[in-house]
Structure 1
Amino acid sequence: MDTWVAETLPLWHPEAPAWSRVVGVFDLETTGIDVTTDRIVTAHVGLLGTGGVIHRTGDWLADPGVEIPEGATAVHGITTAHAREHGRPAADVVAEVVQALEQLFDAGIPVVAYNAPYDFSLLKYEALRHGVTPIADPSPVIDPLVMDKAFDRYRRGKRTLEVVAAHYAVALDGAHDASADAIAAGRVAQAIAARFPVPPTAHELHTRQIGWARAQAASLTEYFISVGRLDPDDTVDGSWPIR
């Protein structure tokens, strides 16, 4: 596939945090929510500039090689028949998505993924399944879900991408489309960076998010135990950005 990193990147606005001026974006739509066993159906990797301007997009439709459950189809709209007829072999899609992400990371461009451990973990297991070398330690990653919880901890309500995008006045047309979700997540990350005192570098922010995610999981564990959703010996996995 073509190289993902342009020779000339968009002009940077001097008042924006350095990492927010050019960001990669990444999202998957899948056959289910188990990162170890479910499969990729659609994927998007893109590049946004200052103000959320789209500079590069890449979209993939895979034939996952398994039936797509009706529940998953109800979310993203892709049926088994459509994926088999129009999708490309899963191994090819996985290899190309990994390559696109690696090119962004190699260029020092942070990649935004909403609820990053889901997408990066599922991609890891898909890579292992298809004999592709996985991205074992993706960095720097920007996760607007972790950031929003850290900077606006006590805001009530859900933290789905649709809700959070609306809160930051980011348009999200066609939720659960990999392209729409990825682009909206990137713009939410940029909006958070414009509103709150975020770390100035992507690598510093990446490190801070590891701690934030761990603390958020511990807090959620306490809550779930208190309402009976978890046994006292169970915990919510706070590993970030990959499990």
Structure 2
Amino acid sequence: MTNSPGFDASRMLSFDLETTSKFPAEARIVTSALVRIDGREVNAVEHLADPGVEIPEEASRIHGITTDKARAEGRPHDEVLADTVTAIRQAWEDGLTLIVFNASYDLSVLRKLTGDFTVTGPVFDPFVVDKIKDRYRKGRRTLTDMSQHYNIKLENAHEATSDALAAARIAWKQVKMWPELAEMGHGELMEMQAVGYYERQEDFRRYLAGQGKDTSDVNTAWPMQS
């Protein structure tokens, strides 16, 4: 990926998954939302998948999709996966930036499910940018909490399209607050996020280790690039 002109908040594809598990290595897609913003044109598509496995009650309580609903109304899982990856790759080919809140999760899920998904275009992660640019702010940084902080309306938390729209709006607000983000080339922007994510995760790993807790699940890589 070249160090091409920076993030254009008028041209983005905001992406969100709801899944069967909080662990990327075992998660399968339940819903996939893709909100394409290109100037004044906004096109939102949400795919419901039959994940092919039972959806745990814990996951259903979060996103509201039960196993019965997914089986009755969802499309085959691999079709939804393929359509999702195709849309992301097309957006990159068209020069759009991919917006993903907590990209290390969603993109890891795609990598695990496809076996070969790599990041070949720019990614903007509002969660990581927030932790870098407002490092010492206290409080939680869930999408709900950050929507409140940035004065963004989150219509229905954990409904994939609503989450994707909220992430796009937060990204837009962040660029207005820190205009230097828009001036960074794509390579520079990606490096900033990757380094910042690594540093924050290392801080978290050391904290857990100091508490005598398991650190094996702490991921320090953000995100996967070809």
TM over 0.5: yes
Look up the match of 2:29. Answer: 40
Deviation at 1:153, TM superposition (A): 0.4
Partner of 2:3: none
The TM-score, its normalising length taken from structure 1, stands at 0.84
Are residues 1:55 and 2:42 paired?
yes
Deviations, residues 55-99 of structure 1 (Å, cap 9, x unaligned)? 111110000000000000000000000000000001111110010
Aligned equivalent of 1:198 = 181
Aligned twin of 1:221: 205
In 1, the alpha carbon distance for the partners of 2:217 and 2:53 equals: 31
Partner of 2:162: 180
Which structure has more RCO (C-alpha within 8 Å, separation ≥ 6)?
A: 2
**What TM-score does the superposition give when structure 2 sets the normalisation length?**
0.90
Matches within 5 A, 1:1-243: 18-48=7-37, 55-128=42-115, 134-196=116-178, 197-200=180-183, 201-230=185-214, 236-242=218-224
Paired with 1:142 and 1:112, the residues of 2 have a C-alpha distance of 5
CA deviations over 1:170-201 (Å, ceiling 9, x no partner): 11011001100011011111111110232513
Distance 1:112 1:38 in 2: 20
Unpaired stretches in structure 1, ≥5 consecutive residues: 1-16, 129-133
Q: How many residues align?
A: 218
Give the partner amino acid of 2:213.
R
Cα offset for 1:19?
A: 2.2
Please report the RMSD computed on the Cα atoms of aligned residues, expressed in angstroms: 1.9
Q: Distance in 2 between matches of 1:216 and 1:65?
A: 35
List structure 1 runs of 4+ shifted beyond 3 angstroms. none
For the residues of structure 2 that align with 1:56 and 1:77, how far apart are their CA atoms?
23
